[in-house]
Amino acid sequence: MSALSEFVSFGELQLGRRVAQAVTDMGFEEPTPIQAQAIPLLMDGKDVIGQAQTGTGKTAAFGIPIVEKINTRTGVQALVVTPTRELAVQVAEEISRIGRYRRVRTLPIYGGQPIDRQIRALRQGVHVVIGTPGRLLDHLNRKTLSLSSVAMVVLDEADEMLDMGFIDDMEAILKAIPQERQTLLFSATMPREVLTLAQRYLKEPEFITVSKNSLTVPQIEQIYYETRESGKLESMARLLDVLELSRAIVFCRTKRGVDELVSGLQARGYPVAGLHGDLSQYQRNQVMRQFKGGQVEILVATDVAARGLDIENISHVINYDIPQDVEFYIHRIGRTGRAGKSGMAVTLVSPRDYRQLRLIENLTKTRIRRERLPSLSDINERQKEGLVERLRNTIAEGKLGYYRGVVDPLLDDYDPVDIAAAALKMSFGPVGEEDAAEAGHGNTGAKQGMVRLFVTIGRKDNIRPAEMVRIISDETGVPANMIGDINIFEKFAFVEVDQEWADCVIHYMHHSTVKGRRISVEPARSRDSV
């Protein structure tokens, strides 16, 4: 156990303060079923056989006890054996995040990477090694890896390693570890060979299982949109502008995430409220009254806070953060499409989320359709349709006598269509593409159809036009052919972009970090006014 005397609750579990903080930072609010069963046993020093598939949170199930037990003044004390290099890297990253505040050093070692680099890292000192069987044996034969201090060993996805013919390698590795150790074996299936291996090398193991074979998803439309993590709020706002919401629940991983999203959406004028565990019962009741009463259309919540909510007529469930456990996904999206009504589940996916998305698809045996994020043109078209619908309703209501009296004197001098368009502009403000460009950016001195942007990075930052194009495209997704003239000066630059993409570039890049510097991006002043 870590030397900390202060413990923090993680669901029903008690974790050291530093580990609990790291787990909170990762977005875990409470243990998944496999974590709740495995962590107490592992903390008690038991050998464990866990039947669980990837996507259940099993890495943290053994990663948390490993980190809690590490003595940071000693060398390699834990070994995780995985079938593939991809899984080795993933496990190493997760254990590193869990151990960040305890300064636990992890190292993935696998074939295909220069062995000299791994040898140097081992010499510098690590606490947890995660590796594939072949490369682990290579290091053992070279005597560049010592397992003499290993107190905990994990065989992750043991059935996969057996299928890949690693049985002899696994046994050779286990024989190189002291017998006075704790051994964990995780496997999605339990064929005879896995049970034989467990019987030979585990001592009175506890058996735990989390079955995902019966996971079913409701028959609702499921789609996802790809977005960058830095531009997620802007993507969310665009979706809310085009989705025909009546009542929606948006899920975030953390309480802080709920607060930040609610604040960002409220600043943009959306009727939204948040729900999480830090709210008092009075605040929670008030939020639910507003949501059920229709004063608030969008409820942003954590998984824990949303438990026990029985709300009818949810048209959309939106996963602002993809859940860490497949069961959470099922519980979330099951809140829409009830009682035979249609519903839609929407998930925002950043590049690092794709592995979890594929796991959700595989374990639930469903296909989640990819859609393109709406462009500014799509939003403008949606706004136009909304205006037309409101006009139809107003005409149908009648009672227009007073307003006819205002319009009649203008008919001799102006086209009736222009009068109607001017009245709309007075009532609703600038909403069309032309007005948006004028109202949002003014005359920036750009070519027709373009907006000229002022960017606070220049020659002193060793920035060149080709690199500027690459940075803008990578950060915002703007096609390179939508970027026009670029003029770079000593401390700043001017960049022309297609007016449809201007807001996207401003929102995604303003206050972003480029070459280690926090930059500003804003519409330029007209050349005539400079």
| pLDDT tens digits, one per residue of 210-260 | 755 445 555 688 999 998 887 888 889 888 888 888 889 999 988 888 999
Would you call 514 helix, strand, or coil by DSSP?
Answer: strand
Which of these, 236, 223, 274, 305, lies nearest to 507 by C-alpha position? 236
Same domain, 320 and 344: yes
Count of alpha carbons within 13 angstroms of residue 24, beta-carbon side? 14
The answer to the question of residue 214 being in a domain is no
Q: Indicate whether 304 and 394 sit together in one domain.
A: no
216 assigned to some structural domain: no
In the chain, the largest separation of any two C-alpha atoms, in whole Å, equals 100
Residues 201, 124, single domain; the answer is yes
Question: 117 and 35, same structural domain?
Answer: yes
Q: What is the pTM of this model?
A: 0.52
- CATH number for the domain harbouring residue 45: 3.40.50.300
Residue 455 in domain: yes
Domain boundaries, position 453: 440-529
Query: What pLDDT score does 54 carry?
Result: 61
Please determine, for residue 205, whether its predicted confidence score (pLDDT) is greater than 70.
Answer: yes
Q: What pLDDT does residue 71 have? A: 92
As a whole number of angstroms, the distance between CA 527 and CA 260 comes to 38
Query: Quick check: is 2 in a domain?
Result: no
Predicted confidence (pLDDT) per residue in 75-132, tens digit = 999 999 998 888 898 899 999 999 999 999 999 999 888 899 999 999 999 999 999 9
Answer yes or no: do 75 and 205 share one domain: yes
Question: How many structural domains does the chain have?
Answer: 4
Q: What is the 3-state secondary structure (H, E, C) of 293-334?
A: HCCCCEEEECHHHHCCCCCCCCCEEEECCCCCCHHHHHHHHC
Structure confidence by residue, pLDDT tens digits, 453-497: 989 888 888 898 988 998 888 777 788 888 999 999 888 889 999
Question: In the predicted model, is pLDDT for residue 292 greater than 90?
Answer: no
CA atoms within a 13 Å half-sphere pointing along the CA-CB vector of 329? 30
On the question of pLDDT at 526 being above 80, the answer is: no
**pLDDT attached to residue 308:** 61
> 381 in a domain, yes or no?
yes
Asked if pLDDT for residue 396 goes beyond 60, the answer is yes
DSSP state of 497: E
pLDDT at 33 over 90: no
Provide the mean pLDDT of the chain: 84
**DSSP label of 3:** S
Residues 156-172 have a mean pLDDT of 89
Confidence at residue 438, expressed as pLDDT on a 0 to 100 scale: 46
Residue 177 · residue 151 · CB < 8 Å: no
Q: Which of 335, 352, 353 is nearest to 344 (CA)?
A: 335
Instruction: Clarify whether residues 204 and 237 are in a common domain.
Output: no
Q: Tell me the backbone φ, ψ of residue 191, rounded to 5 degrees.
A: -65, 170
- What is d(CA 318, CA 298) in angstroms, rounded to the nearest whole number? 10
In a domain, 399, yes or no: yes
So what's the pLDDT on residue 429?
53
pLDDT tens-digit map of 400-421 = 888 888 888 888 888 888 888 8
In a domain, residue 32? The reply is yes
- Identify the CA nearest to 234 among candidates 373, 140, 96, 394: 373
pLDDT at 132: 94
Q: How confident is the model at residue 190 (pLDDT cuts 50, 70, 90)?
A: confident
What whole-number distance in Å separates Cα of residue 328 and Cα of residue 117?
A: 39
Residue 434 has pLDDT above 90, yes or no: no
Q: Are residues 363 and 413 in the same domain?
A: no
- Where are the extended beta strands (E) located within 436-530? 450-455, 483-488, 493-498, 513-514, 517-518, 521-523
Cα three-residue angle 132-137-140, rounded to 5 degrees? 130
Bridge partners for 248 per DSSP: 298, 316
What is the spatial distance between Cα 343 and Cα 340, in angstroms, rounded to a whole number? Answer: 9
DSSP 213: T
Q: Both 119 and 245 in a single domain?
A: no
Q: Which of 341, 371, 401 is the last residue of a domain?
A: 371
Q: Note whether 189 and 94 are same-domain residues.
A: yes
pLDDT band (50, 70, 90) for residue 440: low
pLDDT category at 362 given cuts 50, 70, 90 is: confident
Residue 425 vs residue 101, higher pLDDT: 101
| pLDDT at residue 284, rounded to an integer | 82
Quote the pLDDT of residue 516.
Answer: 76
pLDDT band with cut points at 50, 70 and 90 for residue 152: very high
Higher pLDDT, 29 or 280: 280
pLDDT for residue 436: 44
Asked if 380 and 509 sit in the same domain, the reply is no
Task: State whether 38 and 73 are in the same domain.
Answer: yes
- Are 228 and 277 members of one domain? yes
Instruction: Kindly report which listed range (6-10, 148-152, 182-186, 518-522) carries the lowest average pLDDT score.
Output: 6-10
Predicted pLDDT of residue 56: 66
Residues 276, 40, 29: CA angle, nearest 5 degrees: 15
Q: Domain containing 516 — which CATH number?
A: 3.30.70.330
More confidently predicted of 298 and 392:
298
Question: Pick the residue with more confidence: 455 or 428?
Answer: 455
Q: Which residue, 431, 451, 466, sits at the end of a domain?
A: 431
- Tell me whether residue 380 is in a domain: yes
β-strand 513-514 against 517-518: which pairing, if any? antiparallel
